[in-house]
Each structure stands twice: as C-alpha cells, then as structure tokens.
Structure 1
Amino acid sequence: MKGLIWLGCAIAALDQGMKSEIEQEEGGEFPRDLPGARGMIRVHRNHNYGFPFGFLKEKPRMVTAVPLAVASAVAGALSMLLARKGSAAQKIGLTMVLGGAVSNLYDRFKRGYVVDYFSFSVKGIQKVVFNLGDIAVFLGSALFLIGEMIEEYKSR
C-alpha cells in the first residue's frame, strides 16, 4: 500500500513540478521541439479553462465539480479495492488515475485552469496538448480495464 501512495504522490508532484517550470518560463518560445526528442515531442504552454479541448470553459463551476466528483469516486473505489487481495493491475491503475486527477484538480483550484505542456508529433493527435496528469489518467484507466478483463477471463 505504501508503494501505491508513493506512486500517486510522485505522479502529482512530477506533473506539478513540470507545470511550474513551464509557467515560470518568461518569454519562452512556444510551441517548440523538446531537445533530444527528434521532433517527436513539442513543448507548449496552454491554459485549459474547460474540459478537454476547452469544452464547457464557460461553465467553470461544472468544470471543477465534475472532476472532483469523479476523483472522489475513484478514491472510494480504490479504498474498497485495497481491502481485497490481488487485483494489482487495478490498484496501480486507479492510483495512476487518482494521481493525475489530483494534479489537474489542484490546477483548477489554485490557478483556475489546467496547464497543458506537451504534444506528440503523431498524425491524428499532433494538435492535442497534454500534461503528465492526463497521461496518467489515460494509462491508469487502460491498466485498470486490462486488469478487470484478465480477472474476468480467469474466472470463466
């Protein structure tokens, strides 16, 4: 359990550290290529006041309340799952989701927007700007679902 706490805290802290660095850069040129990434990763400084792609940015209370409710539900599901033996993939997945969600929620409450700071130069998603919290939510959700499918398969 301690390892899961460390994982969730590390995700949130690393994401917040990266966001802080991006926000402190005065007059930085954005977007730009990440050095050493051979043009595959671009660095941005985007302020997202809404859901993904700025959806519902004109409803800030909803944009804060819905993620808070979802993060609370994930925390509740994780606490119930921790009492169960096994289910390591699901526990790690929900911890990743919670770490990413907490970082983005912190932004919403502290800054009033979420800082997004990188994109991948891959056809189809090159215009989508992410942060580490977003990636943790996505990968954690996938890991949780894969764990659930494997357990379902084993039970049959």
Structure 2
Amino acid sequence: MNEQALTLKNSGVRWLWVAMVIFLMDIGIKLLVMDTMGYGWANRIEVLPFFNLLYVHNYGAAFSFLSDQAGWQRWLFTGIAFGVTGLLTYWMSKLSAKEKWNNIAYALIIGGAVGNVFDRVVHGFVVDYLDFFWGSYHWPAFNLADSAICIGAVMIILDGFRNKKGQETD
C-alpha cells in the first residue's frame, strides 16, 4: 500500500460511511413517502398531537427560502451543496480518523447535502415529510437530510465552544 493510501485510510474520510448511511436512509424514506402518500397537507397522517407525516415539495432551501423563484435556485443550491461537500471531505482528509466528533459532524452534513442534491437533480425539488407543530404554529416541513445537516452544524458549533474552553487566553 502506498503512503498516500495509508494516509487516507487513517484520515477522517474513513467516516464517510456515515454520510452514505444518511444518504441511503434519506432517499429510501423519500421514495417510500412519494410512493405511498398523497401529495399535500390534506393527505397528512396525524401521528402525535404535535407531529404529522406528509408529502410536500420544497423548491427552495431551508424553510422554503427562494422557493417562489423561477427555478435558478435549484442549481444555485446544488452548486453550494457540491462546494460544501467538497470542502468538508477535504477537511476530513486532513483530520485523523480518531477525531470522531468532527468527522461525524462533517459526514452528517455531507450525507444530508447529497440527499437533498439528489432530489433537486432528479425531481427538481426536495421531498419533505416531517411536520412538527404547536397549536396552530407549524414548523416548516423538513426531512432526514435537513435533520442530519442541522445536527452536524450544531456539533461543529458545540465543538467550537468545547475547544475554546480548554485554551488559555492571552
């Protein structure tokens, strides 16, 4: 085995399997939703007093940002996702495989980003199916990919606080 392959084997890219699991679960759930549920809020399935399953399309980004645009946003968000995925994969290649926290955080973001990119490229929209609410206030519908991205981002933020705590101030 050459030195570069050995280096990659010991780097954070070993954690990309987490991204693959998130991607496969996300796409599997979305296909199940598309095949078994009727489209729209009228076809929602009430699961708990604060949670519904439903099938809706999101043509924008988080919270339907830019969803009312003519379609250019599909390619903008696809490009951003590819850029972020490339950057995070590069950072993972520079991290030790033993740095579990950051590698898992990056892999969650990558898996979620690729899951939503798949939807944008194949369908032209992202499939959302989770609806949480309190009274008449509904959180915007989202999916597993969105959840993975948010969890990964929170992990990165928490890591920033955790690392600063142990550093001396000048």
Give the TM bin, normalised by the shorter chain: 0.7 to 0.9
Tell me the CA shift for residue 124 of structure 1: 8.4
Tell me the CA shift for residue 11 of structure 1: 0.6
Task: Give the secondary-structure state (helix, strand or coil) at the position aligned to 1:129.
Answer: coil
Query: Does structure 2 conserve the Cα–Cα contact (< 8 Å) formed by 1:8 and 1:98?
Result: yes
Aligned to 2:101: 89
Tell me the CA shift for residue 74 of structure 1: 4.0
Stretches of structure 2 lacking an aligned partner (at least 5 in a row)? 1-11
1:44 aligns with 2:54: yes
**Where in structure 2 are the equivalents of 1:4-153 lying within 5 Å?**
4-25=15-36, 27=38, 30-34=43-47, 38-57=48-67, 58-85=69-96, 87-122=99-134, 126-153=138-165
Query: Does structure 2 conserve the Cα–Cα contact (< 8 Å) formed by 1:98 and 1:137?
Result: yes
Task: Give the secondary-structure state (helix, strand or coil) at the position aligned to 1:42.
Answer: strand
**Which amino acid in the other structure matches residue 19 of structure 1?**
K
CA RMSD of aligned residues (A): 2.4
**CA-to-partner distance for each residue in 1:96-120, whole Å, 9 max, x for gaps?**
0110010000000000000000112
For 1:95 and 1:71, how far apart are their aligned partners in 2? 14
**Which amino acid in the other structure matches residue 32 of structure 1?**
I
Over 6 Å off, 4+ runs = none
TM-score (norm 2): 0.77
Aligned length, in residue pairs: 153
State the identity as a percent.
22
**Which amino acid in the other structure matches residue 51 of structure 2?**
I
For 2:121 and 2:61, how far apart are their aligned partners in 1? 14
**Which amino acid in the other structure matches residue 165 of structure 2?**
Y
Stretches of structure 1 lacking an aligned partner (at least 5 in a row)? none
TM-score (norm 1): 0.83
